[in-house]
Structure 1
Amino acid sequence: MKVTSEDIGVLLLRVPVGLLLMGHGAQKLFGWFGGGGPEKTGQMMTALGYPQGRLMGVAAGLGEVGAGAGIALGAATPLSSAGLIATMTNAAVSAHLPKGLWAQHGGFEYPLVLGTGAAALAVHGPGALSVDAVLGQQRKGLLWGAVAVTAGLVGAAAVLALRRREQAKEQE
């Protein structure tokens, strides 16, 4: 296996992004790293308008841990990218959009950067230093990038539709 500077570059992107996303999931699932665990995360999700806040918090945490692990390892890269795009789209719309773009004001800058990075990773592929490469399963290119973005946005839209329905019920 020949490792190129591109392989090293994409590894340098994948690993910290994946591990940080896993950390966000661990905050939700276990209360690690200053997170709220399932109880406080559930309360936050309810306050953001999601139905069954605790269940949605656990689902978000599992999505972040799973997608983060896949990104870090370069495993099932288009699927992992779609999971990251879905969770970050939900975070951007429900928690950050009203606060504008910039992160220092609580805006959607960080989820946007992660989601865009996931799309770029799906297009580029995980590189030679990845589980996908070891298994001979590298899926990359514009088509795979489009699949990852579409799947992520469709998944996010489905969850956001549940949120909208819950918010409409509360307004009745």
Structure 2
Amino acid sequence: MSTHDLHPDDLELLERLGAIVGVVDPVPPDVVQLGRAAFALHHADTALMTLVSDAMAGAGLRATDSARGTSRLLVFEHGPVSIEMDVTWRGDLGRILGVVADASGSVAQGAHVILETGSVTRTVDLEGERFTFDRVPLGLARIVLEQAGERVMTTTWFDVG
């Protein structure tokens, strides 16, 4: 049975009940993020890039009051392709500045970069080898390289903030 088979009064009732449940017992944000991560497995044939460097891993990061905020450098690799990112956050938002290095020259040309988080999906074109995402919500995120409408490579999920 689909929603097309329901009477309009029933649809209205379901919408009202859904709104009540959303207030009384909302789905926890981490469950939503994990659900989206699991759903992303339908692109399982996309090459998964490996985190090879987290410049601040284990360094005991703490929030600062500097104008720039707290930052860390992440490097992901798969074959001749690497993505280096400076992930900066201050308050409730982050910024990702990245470079796609492609020794083979096959991926970076004409590629798009997609940012996926639990609440946002955004796409930018590579400018040379560089990309930027501003106003990134804190939490789990990943970067996807897309070329000619096909997902070519994706990073593992990493934490912004």
Normalising by the smaller structure, the TM-score range is: under 0.3
Greater RCO between the two (CA within 8 Å, min separation 6)? 1
More strand by share: 2
Q: Which has the larger radius of gyration?
A: 2
TM-score normalized with structure 2 length? 0.25
More helix by share: 1
TM-score normalized with structure 1 length? 0.23
